[in-house]
Structure 1
Amino acid sequence: MPVPAPQLGSYQYVPETKENLDWADLATIDLSKYGTPEGKKELAQELLDALRNKGFFYVKNFNISQERVDRQFALGREFYELPLEEKLKYVPDLDAGKFNGYTPAGRYVINPQSGLKDQIEIWNMPKFNGHFPQAYPALIQSHLAEIEEFARSLHSEVLDPLFVLLAIALELPEDYFTNLHVYEQKSEDHLRYMKYGKYTPEENAKLNLWTPGHTDLGSFTLLFRQPVAALQIRDPAHNEWKWVKPQDGTLTVNACDALSFLTGGYVRSTIHRVNVPPKDQQHVDRLGLLYFSRPHNDVTLATVVESPVLQREGYTKNEFEQTGNHVPTMEEWTFAKQKWQRQIKRSDDKNHRNAVILPGFQEKVYEDVSVAA
C-alpha cells in the first residue's frame, strides 16, 4: 500500500500541443496480459519486436495509480521551486562521474555562436537499499518513505515483468535478467526529477535541439507521461527522427547500453534526443519523472551466450569482445560514461562527442546540433 506522507498541492499538466507532428509509431506492452503463460509468451514476442524494430515502446496497466505518479510530479515541482542556494548544497562530484544529488543547469553550451547554455536541472535519488548514503533537503526527507515505496514499485510492477519477458524472448530461464537486477543488490539505479527550463522565443529560434542524440547507459529507462512534446527517437529502420507522443496512462520505455552489451547488439541501445518544443508549448518548463535501471555493479557486461536466440542469430560478441578489450563491469561502465557525460562542454566539441569511453567503445556523433539552420 502507498505510504502516507505530508500533503502536496495537486499537479496540473499543461495542455498537449495542437501542432501536427511526425509521431513515432510505437508498440504498447499491456501488462494486464502478464498473468498467464499464454499472455507472457505473447508479450515476450511483442517486446522483442519492439526492441528490435524501434527500441522505444509504451507500457500500460502496470499497477501504479495515476495519483501516485502525480504526487511524484508534484514533488519534483516543489523541489525545483527551492532556492538555488539550497539545491546547490547537494551537488556531487560531477567531474568524477558522480550523479546522485543535484546537477545545476549551465554546464553545456548548446549554441556556441550566442553562448547559450543548457537550462537542465537534475535531481537523482539512488536505491533505498542501504548501499547509498545520501543527503536530502527537508522537502524530500519529509516524503522519503513515499518516494522509496514508489521507486520499489517500479521494480516489482514494471521492471521485473519486462526482464522476465525479455528472458522468455531470448529462450533463457525466466529469472535470468531479474537476477541481474535485484533491488537489494548494489547497482546505480536512480529515480530522477528533471527540469528543462524554458527559453525565450528569441533563444529558441537559435536552437535546433535542447539535448543532442544519445543513448542511455543502463538496462531500461522509464519515462512517465508528461505532455510537453520534445522527446524524439531515431527510427532505426530509416534513421529518421520521430516525435514521441505522450499517451495517457502509460510509461515510455527505452532500451539502453547495458542490454545492448549483454545481447551482443541484438537489443539496440536506442538513440534519442530532446528537441525544441512546438511553439504552443515553449512558454512552460518541461518537468520529467524518470527511472534509470542498471544491472548490479559487479555484473560483467559480456554477451549472454547461453541464449539460443543469440546463438542462432549470430549475436555472440559485443564491442569489447570483438576488439579483444577488457569487458567492463557495470560499475566500470557507469562511471566511465557518466564522467564523460558530466564534463563541461560545447555542442560543437567533436573531440568530446567522439571520445573513447573505454577501450573498445567510442561514442558516436548522431547529428550536427550547433546552430539552427
Structure 2
Amino acid sequence: MTGTPFLLLDGAVAAEGVDQGVVGHYGNPIVEQRRLERGEAIVDCSNRGVLTVTGPDRLTWLHSMASQALDRLAPGASAEALFLDASGRIEHVVHVVDDGASTWLVVEGADAAPLATWLDRMRFMLRVEVADRSTEVAVLGAMSTKALDAAAPAFAPNGVALDWTDSWSSPAPTAHRYAPDAGHPASAWHWIERVVPRTALADAAAAVRAGRVAAAGSLAAEALRIAAWRPRLATEVDEKSIPHELDWLRSAVDLGKGCYKGQETVAKVLNLGRPPRRLVLLHLDGSDTALPVPGDPVVGEKVRPEPEPGEAPERRVVGRVTSSAMHHELGPIALAVIKRQVPPDLDLIVESHGIDVAAAQVEIVPASAGAATDVPRLPRLGVRK
C-alpha cells in the first residue's frame, strides 16, 4: 500500500501504534472529535485491509465458519463476524458487506494477509475464491453518509454501495448483551466504513482541502470508540480473549445459528459459566498529562484483614490497559481487561510512565455476569425428602 494523501494535508501528524500509516491528528484532536461526532468529518482508514470472497458458495461457506449468520446476508446489508479457534478464542474479526456478486471483508491491516491465507486453506472443493484487495481499495470512516458523500461517492462495482454500517448501537434480536441497554453509550456511535478505490483517496483529500468536508485523525475516532465501549481486534484482543469478555456477543455472534468452530465455548460460557475476564471503562486521574499506553498494568490494592500499623496495602496486578484517549467530554479514559473477581467498586491504579494513575472503573461486562440458563440442581444420591 502506498502512502496516503491525507498525510499531505495542513497540520497532518502521522499516527503511531496500531494506526501507523494514517493521520493521527491535524493539530487539535478534541475539535476533530466534535466534528466527527456531529457527522461533519471523515477519517482516513486506508491502513485497513480489504478481502473479497467470490463464487456461488461464498455466503454459505463463510456462514459455516463464522460466529455470525451470513448465509442469507442481503446485498448491501452489513454484518460483523468473528472467526474463533477450537477453544472459542478470537482469531479474526471481519466487517462484512455483500454486493450480490462478491462478499467484501474489512479487517485490520495486519490481519489481511493471515486471514486471506487461512481462508484460502479452508476452501476445499467449494466454489469460492479469496483475494486480498488492499492495494486496490481503501476505507474511509465517518459517523454519517453525508460526510462520506462529500468526500467520495459510494463505490458500487456490482451496483450495490460498499458501505459497512456498525450494528453496535442496535444489536439484533439474536444477540446477547452483558451491558444493559439503558444508558449504554453505544447510542452515540454511528460508525460507517466506506470501501472506495484507492485512487479516490486523493479526491477525498482534495475535498477536505477545498472545505467540502472536515478531516479527523485516528485519535479522534479512537476516543469516540473507547467512550462507546466498542472493542477492536488490534487493541482489546489478546491470545486468550473470548467474545464474552469484551461484550462482543452484542454485535458479532448470532446465538441462533448452527455449528461453527468455537461455538461450544460460546454456548458453555454463556449458558453455564462466567467470563473469566471482563472489559471495563476507566476514568483516569487527569492531573498528569501522560496517557497510559496499551499493556500498562492495572493494579488493585489488597488490604489484609488486620494490617500492621503503618503497613502499606499489598498490590496485585488485576488486568491491563488495552487502549486510551483524551475525550472531549469525559477527559482521560481507557479500556482495560481485568479479572472477573475484581469488585466493581474497587478503585484501581494504572502503573504508567513510572507513575501511579488513579482509575475508577465503569462496568461493561458486569462482575456479576453469570449463566444465562438456570440449570436445576440434581438431588444427591441417597438423600430423601
Is the TM-score greater than 0.5? no
Query: What TM-score do you get using the length of structure 2 for normalisation?
Result: 0.29
Bigger relative CO (Cα 8 Å, ≥ 6 apart): 1
Answer with 1 or 2: which has the greater Rg: 2
Q: Which is strand-richer, 1 or 2?
A: 2
